[in-house]
Structure 1
């Protein structure tokens, strides 16, 4: 029904498999055909809508067997479905609805993406970092995986000739910083501007040792980046703070706490405690 119209359909038989596939794949829409073995379709719809790794812009359509009374239709809408249909389906009608829904979803995705990015560099902004932190924490909880966050502080310094330090806030310099991080970062990393002239990197499947290596590599890259396109970063003092959790599932943090902890560790590194350029977050009471 869907494939002849140009859609690639992913079919699963159970609610558990549907949740797993919805989290791991970027789906344009979800159709829940009831009854489902082991779970109510309405409960699945509600669970998918609560899942932070699934965009609210993804249409969910319920399909029921038999009659579709008004109260059941309203229950599907309350559960977060965009629509509910009854078997047998009018294929032409369904395809027309899907076309309308997908145009709305793509426009919502475009607007949301613009709101999550820094227009000067194409990196995530603070809002985008928070959104990605929620998604990555949810994924790491599901996979029992590690997750880390590093926040870098860029402090311009006078050069050897005593010239005034460069301004990291300028659009050209920010763009150059973004290019350096994208070049030396990993494809799996989420990179963005956090607060002021601080940059954050969210690193999935990365333990404490891996986080230190990541931080060292990026600190070096930022501190030694050559001029390019007439833009120089000048003399930069680059420090970093990080938080790394080996198994997010064992003790799930609040997503924004990862960013806040790494930022707090950066402030300690900037304060010069112990002379370390890269510091791990330590809670109050830790030495």
Structure 2
């Protein structure tokens, strides 16, 4: 694909597809389908920005196709514009009730179509950007707690199906309050950004996630990673942060900024709860702090 927005034209008449495609191909990547069933199949495999959907098609008509698209949580946010030769009022009422965002009547007017498509794609891109920002911590650029909770639940379900291991690392910056008190909050923000970059940069596999858990705490979710693997990574994180050599004259355990970590791991099974994982990780983090900080404590999670 070219990187341009992707529009799918759905019509059982190839002449209509060619006509509408010619109106839009200068600005958009064009895909097409000649039935509702084919359109749904393509939509599930492609990241679409908009669908132009004919109402009158044999088999699955446009209204039912739209309803099925809107029932799929992965496709529900893709805007649908109906193309129809039916009575405008009738088509609009039926189309909006099916989940469409707009409609254009045939014969399609090029200027009107381009304007409507551009407006709706622009609004979708804005919604996508806002949704993305809602999952990102603005200070560090890492995922925020909402992203962490969402992805953890997804990974726990996925890994449980394979009965694989899942591990989490809960990280806390040692004596961060004292850091802020000594250096000020602006320097504290710089410290958080530097530590976040060090932690996030150690996530080498696509499924691994490092997120800001809150305040000076961070959490790493490691699918298909057992306790030994998670402990190895946690120790690497500890060493990476220490190697940043950020001065910390308010620390009682080192002359530079350090972290403590709690690691828990278990083979996943259906029915496990996220809260239990984080309670155990928090207990192990407290163990690291009690033992002098700048260290890692870990254990296998016992679900008995």
Q: TM-score normalized by structure 2?
A: 0.65
Greater RCO structure (CA 8 Å; 6+ sep) = 1
Q: What is the aligned length? A: 261
1:164-175, aligned counterparts within 5 Å? 170-175=188-193
Query: Does residue 238 of structure 1 match 2:261?
Result: yes
Deviation string, structure 1 residues 135-157 (Cα, Å, up to 9, x no partner): x56x959x989795735232527
Secondary structure of residue in 1 paired with 2:112:
helix
Distance 1:13 1:92, change over 3 A: same
Contact between 1:46 and 1:80, CA under 8 Å: does it hold in 2?
yes
Give unpaired runs (5+ residues) of structure 2: 1-20, 249-255
- Give deviations 1:69-125, integer Å, cap 9, x for gaps: 534422322332211234443233211111112222233333333332211111121
Q: After TM superposition, give the deviation of residue 185 of structure 1 in Å.
A: 0.5
Relative to structure 1, the CA distance from residue 152 to residue 41 in structure 2 (aligned partners, 3 Å threshold; closer, same or farther) is farther
Task: Find the counterpart in structure 2 of residue 73 from structure 1.
Answer: 92
1:265 to 2:285 alignment: no
Give the distance between the partners of 1:72 and 1:145, measured in 2 at CA: 50
Residue 199 of structure 2: aligned partner: 181
Residue deviations 1:39-87 (CA, integer Å, cap 9, x gap): 453344334334443473x4222334x4145344223223322112344
Counterpart for residue 15 of structure 2? none
Higher radius of gyration, 1 or 2: 2
Unaligned regions of 5+ residues in structure 1, if any?
159-163
Q: Could you give the per-residue CA deviations for residues 14-45 of structure 1, whole angstroms, max 9, x where no partner exists?
A: 55554454345432223333456764533443
Instruction: Say if 1:34 and 1:198 are closer, same or farther in 2 by CA, change over 3 A.
Output: farther
Q: Distance in 2 between matches of 1:41 and 1:149?
A: 46
Tell me if the contact between 2:165 and 2:226 (Cα under 8 Å) persists in the aligned partners.
no
Q: Please report the RMSD computed on the Cα atoms of aligned residues, expressed in angstroms.
A: 4.2
Tell me how far apart the structure 2 counterparts of residues 51 and 154 of structure 1 sit (CA, whole Å): 39
Task: Quote the Cα distance in structure 2 between the aligned partners of 1:68 and 1:244.
Answer: 59
Query: In the alignment, what sits opposite 1:11?
Result: 32
Q: Is the 8 Å Cα contact of residues 129 and 192 (structure 1) preserved in structure 2?
A: yes
- TM-score normalized by structure 1? 0.68
Shift in CA distance, 261/87, structure 1 to aligned 2, threshold 3 Å: farther
The answer to whether 1:99 aligns with 2:114 is no
Find the partner of 1:82 among 93, 101, 104. 101
